[in-house]
């Protein structure tokens, strides 16, 4: 940490001497808050993480485009391994906040704008985020690195194949792909969407399923979100395909944590996170299979 603080302190974008304050909560980056010349900034420190398909050129492009689309704070400065954003004063949402129907009604239009508006502002190469490729790639990582959860991999791959067939053909939009409650900030007038580590072209069903699974939405709320996002009554076929993608979202989060147990050096309880997500995935998959 002292080395990172020194690195942040020495960035050439500052006008004055600064004192970086660690910002808790990041599980793929180390983050700091910095005050300089009467303004506040968030500094995200992190290199590429090919293991998780995080490439910082992609995060930077998505961050800039999301600002241009009016969804995220402005990128103030960047250099390799560093992204400096203007600080947003507001409340970081919790899962309980997202479950609030009034807040949920404000989030759905944000997702639609993310999916439809951001591509108008994207420049340069951009990644895709196909969850089933990512799951298969994680499985190959286990072949190389093993870990306490390695025995689960063959079964999980078999399930992933079934889910991919169930999802079927998809429309392509630009997804955020990491809709944790903590990636929404409510300033009282506007909800901001932040942290574009995993951004990329994807099916809208992934973000919709991730929003539900990450924030424990009720089934009633899930159906409400789908009907409002697509502006149409919910049909059985879409409900089935959505439920399959929701399972895939939970499977990817589980395997992300399994791999992180082996490779991550951040101070985070990945084992508990793995166990929690694996339990949620198993419940969702059992419910999905009961639909057939």
pLDDT at residue 24, rounded to an integer: 80
Domains and CATH numbers, the chain: 2-86 (3.30.200.20), 91-291 (3.90.1200.10)
pLDDT of residue 263: 85
Report DSSP letters for 60-71, one per residue.
Answer: HHHHHHHHHTTS
Tokens of 233: 């009554």
For the entire predicted model, the pTM comes to 0.94
CB atoms within 10 A of CB 277: 21
> In angstroms, what CA-CA distances link 102 with 3, 88, 115, 282?
43, 21, 21, 30
- DSSP letters of 183-207? GEEE-SS-EEE---TT-EEE-HHHH
Rounded Cα distance, 102 and 142, in Å: 42
Tokens found for residue 276: 């929690």
Give the 3-state secondary structure of residue 45. Answer: strand
CA atoms within 13 A on the CB side of 224: 15
Digit-by-digit pLDDT tens for the chain (292 residues) are: 778 899 999 999 999 999 999 988 666 788 999 999 999 999 999 999 999 999 999 999 999 999 999 999 999 999 999 999 999 999 999 999 999 999 999 999 999 999 999 999 999 999 999 999 999 999 998 876 677 888 889 999 999 999 999 999 999 999 999 999 999 999 999 999 999 999 999 999 999 999 999 999 999 999 999 999 999 999 999 999 999 999 999 999 999 999 998 888 777 889 999 999 999 999 999 999 988 6
CA-CA distance, 179 to 176, in Å (whole number)? 7
Q: HSE-up of 74 (CA within 13 Å, CB side)?
A: 5
| CB-facing half-sphere around the CA of 171: CA atoms within 13 A | 11
pLDDT reported for residue 198 = 97
Residue 145 is predicted with a pLDDT of 64
pLDDT at 212: 97
């Amino acid at each position: 940490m002292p080395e990172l603080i020194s690195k942040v302190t020495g960035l050439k974008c500052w006008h004055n001497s600064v004192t970086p304050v660690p910002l808790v909560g990041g599980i793929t980056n180390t983050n700091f808050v910095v005050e300089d010349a009467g303004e506040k900034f968030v500094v995200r420190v992190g290199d590429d993480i090919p293991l998780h398909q995080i490439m910082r050129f992609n995060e930077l492009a998505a961050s800039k485009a999301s600002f241009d689309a009016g969804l995220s704070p402005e990128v103030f400065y960047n250099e390799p391994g560093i992204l400096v954003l203007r600080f947003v004063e507001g409340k970081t949402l919790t899962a309980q906040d997202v479950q609030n129907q009034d807040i949920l009604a404000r989030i759905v239009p944000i997702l639609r704008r993310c999916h439809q508006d951001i591509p108008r502002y994207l420049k340069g190469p951009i990644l895709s985020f196909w969850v089933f490729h990512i799951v298969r790639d994680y499985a190959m990582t286990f072949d190389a690195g093993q870990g306490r959860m390695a025995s689960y991999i063959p079964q999980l791959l078999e399930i992933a194949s079934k889910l991919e067939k169930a999802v079927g053909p998809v429309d392509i939009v630009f997804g955020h792909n990491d809709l944790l409650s903590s990636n929404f900030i409510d300033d009282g007038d506007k909800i901001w969407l932040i942290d574009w580590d995993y951004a990329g072209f994807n099916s809208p069903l992934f973000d919709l399923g991730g929003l539900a699974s990450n924030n424990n939405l009720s089934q009633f709320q899930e159906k409400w979100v789908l009907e409002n996002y697509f502006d149409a009554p919910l049909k059985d076929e879409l409900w089935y395909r959505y439920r399959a993608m929701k399972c895939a979202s939970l499977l990817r989060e589980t395997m992300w944590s399994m791999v992180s147990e082996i490779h991550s050096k951040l101070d985070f309880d990945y084992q508990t996170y793995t166990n929690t997500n694996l339990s949620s995935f198993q419940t969702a998959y059992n419910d999905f299979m009961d639909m057939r």
